[in-house]
Chain A
Amino acid sequence: MDVIPKKPAESMEPIEQIKARIEAAVPGASIEILQNASPSQQHSLKIDNEHAHDVAKWLHDDPALRLDFCSNVTGVDWLDRTVKKMVKVKKVVDGEEKEVAETTEEKIPGYLEAVYHLYSMTHKHGPVIIRMRTADRAAGARLPSLTPIWRSAEFQEREIFDLYGIRFDGHPDLRRILMWDEFEDYPMRKDYREPDDYEYEPTPHDDVLERAKRYYTPRPQIDGAESIVEPLNG
């Protein structure tokens, strides 16, 4: 059996170096490395929205990286959450200085995130993952569109707009794509509640049935064919 060659993805420069090079090339851009603790070791770069276009353009054009293939674009919904942290604080208790563990609660407001997985078809390496975050989950859910740089983001950004409600500024044709145009909510958000009558399941033990009873008359408990015969007899 031959030796399996190393995956070419590992030949790409480290993410810290990419970060440093972006910051040198795009003045004012603030890049943050988000570590990924899982065995996949796919760390991502959080880029700021103001310079997102320039950073993306640089990533696309830089001869060493040449990330010309934007494979996957997706949204993630992060709800408001509180993070409890145990912090050891030095405190004076009964005249003595002691280390006391204190819990601090930090409120993190919710936001929506767009994630781009970039590969290079020229150099056959990747992925470089870039993320952008919206200011909030309501009116501030706006991000710059990267469709002018990678055409493959066109449908995928439309899909994010459709399912998550992020508005992409500069997208050529931002409409709903999978849901119909009149649909109002954003179904992939974590706090989305489906309307009561969205699915009528005939399972007699499902709570869907309980809710659906308000909209549908109960079906007769007879064989379907019998109801066809009746009008013929009568």
Chain B
Amino acid sequence: MIGSGILKGMAVTARNFVGSYFDKERLITVQYPEERDPLPENYRNFPFLVYDGDDSQAGLRCVACKICEKECPPQCIYIVKSENKKPDYMGKPQFYPKIFDIDISVCMSCQICVEVCPFEAIKMDKDFELSRRERFDALLMRKDDLAKSNDYYRRISPTDAAGVDAKLAAAAEAAAKKKAAAPAAAKPATTATSPVSARASS
């Protein structure tokens, strides 16, 4: 019968329409921004710099090795290395980035900077509400905008952060052992506690 195919299709639409009142699977729209779906833990959007401790500038893990700048596919990272060394959070003198800019109007959140970083200093953020009224300088993230604490990192991606913390703690422990084993160690090994164990004890 001609028209039966259309009627069958109508039945499908009717089923979907009525079903959307009862079946959660048929109505998956969320009324953003009042309602929000929880973000998955692996979600990534633009990188940030991790710092340990309370001082956002002194505690930066970044040592301005410029690997991420070189590997970044769209070349959106710009780093100027410091001339002098400054003690980092663990008290070890390190270079630090004098300038660290990420142009997030160019960045495509590909996560390659995170993968290549040997110091666990750059991680992916979850902040996606970044609309600006100006399209050039407002989207150029300076070092101050990028620095976020390790606590923040633990909050947004707990699993990854726990892994990173354990890795750093193990590295710090190994370094401390090495130092203790060396007879001419100037500094006592106890000062070289990891940021994790220091935080855990406080």
> Do A and B share a direct contact in the complex (Cβ within 8 angstroms)?
yes
> Closest Cβ of chain A: how far from B95's Cβ, in Å?
19
B65 within 8 A of A: no
One of A204, A205, A206, A223 near B134 (C-beta < 8 A): A223
> Closest Cβ of chain A: how far from B71's Cβ, in Å?
17
By a CB distance below 8 angstroms, the chain B residues around A221 are 137
Alpha-carbon distance between A4 and B105 when the two chains are bound, in angstroms = 47
B134, A224: Cβ atoms under 8 Å? yes
19 A-B contacts (beta carbon < 8 Å): A201-B106, A202-B103, A202-B135, A203-B76, A203-B78, A203-B103, A203-B106, A203-B140, A205-B78, A205-B101, A206-B75, A219-B136, A221-B137, A223-B133, A223-B134, A223-B138, A224-B135, A225-B133, A225-B134
Interface flags for B117-153 (1: CB within 8 Å of A; 0: not) read: 0000000000000000111111010000000000000
Interface flags for A190-234 (1: CB within 8 Å of B; 0: not) read: 000000000001111110000000000001010111000000000
Interface residues on A, range: 10 to 19
Alpha-carbon distance between A221 and B140 when the two chains are bound, in angstroms = 13
Is chain B's binding surface mostly helix, strand, loop or mixed?
Answer: loop
A residues engaging B (CB < 8 A)?
201-206, 219, 221, 223-225
> Closest Cβ of chain B: how far from A13's Cβ, in Å?
42
> Closest Cβ of chain B: how far from A219's Cβ, in Å?
7
A204, B140: Cβ atoms under 8 Å? yes
Closest to B139 in A: A202
By a CB distance below 8 angstroms, the chain A residues around B105 are 202
A202, B136: Cβ atoms under 8 Å? yes
Alpha-carbon distance between A188 and B80 when the two chains are bound, in angstroms = 33
